[in-house]
Amino acid sequence: MKILKYFFSITLLLCVLAGCKKDLSNDTFFASKAPASAKLSVLFDITQDNTGLVTITPNGEGAISYDIYYGDTATTPVKIAAGKNTTHTYTEGVYNLKIVGYNIAGKITEATQPLTVSFKAPENLKVTVTTNILTVNIAASAIYETLFKVYYGDSSTASPVPFTPFLEGQTVTHTYASAGTYIIKVVALSGGAATTTYLDTIKVAKQLDLPVSFDDANVDYSLLDFGGNSSAVAVDPVSSTNKVMKVIKTAGAEVWGGTTLGGTIGFASHIPIATGNTKMSIRVYSPAAGLDIKLKIEDHTDPTHSVETDIKTTVANQWETLVFDFKNQAPGTAALNLAYIFDKASVFFDFGTAGSGKIFYADDLKMAPPSLAQINLPVTFDDVKTDYTVTDFGGNLSAVIVDPMNSGNNVMKCIKTSGAQSWAGTTVGTGSGFASVIPVSASATKMSLRIYSPAAGLDVKLKIEEHTDGTHSVETDTKTTVANQWETLTFDFSNPAAGTSAWNTAFKYDKASLFFDFGNGGNGKAYYFDDLQMAKAVVILKQINLPVTFDDATVDYSVTDFGSNQSSVATDPVNSSNMVMKSIKTTGAQSWAGTTIGTALGFSAKIPVTASATKMSVKVYSPAVGIDIKLKIEDHNEGTHSVETDTKTTVANQWETLVFDFSAPAAGTSAWNAAYNYDKASIFFDFGNAGDGRTYYFDDVKFVSSGGGGGSLSQINLPVTFENATVDYTVSDFGSNMTVAAKDPVSSSNNVKMTTKPAGAQSWAGTTIGTALGFATVIPVTASRSKMSVRVYSPSAGLVIKLKIEDHNDPTHSVETDVKSTLANQWEILVFDFSTPAAGTAAWNAGFTYDKASIFFDFGKAGSGLIFYWDDVKFL
Instruction: Express each pLDDT in 341-392 by its tens digit.
Output: 999 999 999 999 999 999 999 999 999 866 678 999 999 999 988 989 999 9
Q: Are strands 135-143 and 123-132 parallel, antiparallel or unpaired?
A: antiparallel
Where residue 30 falls among pLDDT bands split at 50, 70, 90? very low
Specify burial of residue 696 (Cβ count, 10 A radius: 0-12, 13-18, 19+): buried
Q: Give dist(CA 188, CA 202) in Å, integer.
A: 20
Q: Would the CA dihedral through 713, 716, 718, 721 be positive or negative?
A: positive
In percent, how much of the chain has pLDDT > 70?
94
Q: Give dist(CA 732, CA 740) in Å, integer.
A: 10
Q: Give dist(CA 398, CA 238) in Å, integer.
A: 12
Where residue 180 falls among pLDDT bands split at 50, 70, 90? confident
Q: Which of 389, 402, 408, 385 is nearest to 277 (CA)?
A: 385
For range 468-475, the mean pLDDT: 94
Residue count (the chain): 876
Task: Please tell me the predicted confidence (pLDDT) of residue 17.
Answer: 33
- Predicted TM-score of the model (pTM): 0.36
Q: What is the pLDDT of residues 834-858, one digit of tens each?
A: 999 999 999 999 999 999 999 999 9
Q: What is the pLDDT of residues 568-611, one digit of tens each?
A: 999 999 888 899 999 999 999 999 999 999 998 999 999 999 98
- Whether residue 551 contacts residue 578, with contact meaning beta carbons closer than 8 Å, is answered with yes
Task: Please tell me the predicted confidence (pLDDT) of residue 713.
Answer: 67
- Whether residue 427 contacts residue 379, with contact meaning beta carbons closer than 8 Å, is answered with no
For range 327-342, the mean pLDDT: 95
Provide the residue type at 840 as one letter.
G
Q: What is the pLDDT of residues 798-826, one digit of tens each?
A: 999 999 999 988 999 999 999 999 999 99
Q: Which of 449, 539, 447, 456 is nearest to 495 (CA)?
A: 447
Task: Please tell me the predicted confidence (pLDDT) of residue 118.
Answer: 84
**pLDDT at residue 395 is higher than 50:** yes
Tally of CB atoms within 10 A around 503: 20
Residues sharing a CB contact under 8 Å with residue 229, sequence separation 6 or more, in sequence order: 247, 248, 249, 250, 253, 257, 258, 259, 349, 355
Provide the residue type at 145 as one letter.
E
Q: Which of 464, 449, 476, 461 is nearest to 533 (CA)?
A: 449
- Whether residue 646 contacts residue 661, with contact meaning beta carbons closer than 8 Å, is answered with no
Where residue 212 falls among pLDDT bands split at 50, 70, 90? very high
Task: Please tell me the predicted confidence (pLDDT) of residue 419.
Answer: 94
Q: Give dist(CA 305, CA 114) in Å, integer.
A: 57
Q: What is the pLDDT of residues 455-471, one digit of tens each?
A: 999 999 999 999 999 99
Three-state DSSP class for residue 265? helix
- Whether residue 806 contacts residue 850, with contact meaning beta carbons closer than 8 Å, is answered with yes
- What does each C-alpha distance from 213 to 22, 243, 386 come to in angstroms? 59, 8, 21
- Cα-flanking dihedrals φ and ψ of residue 416, to 5°? -90, 90
Q: Give dist(CA 839, CA 859) in Å, integer.
A: 13
Q: Give dist(CA 307, CA 141) in Å, integer.
A: 49
For range 33-59, the mean pLDDT: 75
Q: How much helix, strand and coil, in percent to the nearest 5, is found in the chain?
A: 0, 45, 55
Q: Are strands 638-648 and 594-596 parallel, antiparallel or unpaired?
A: unpaired
Task: Please tell me the predicted confidence (pLDDT) of residue 708.
Answer: 37
* Dihedral angle over CA of 701, 707, 713, 719, nearest 10: -150
**pLDDT at residue 14 is higher than 80:** no
- What does each C-alpha distance from 431 to 389, 426, 464, 696 come to in angstroms? 10, 11, 12, 58
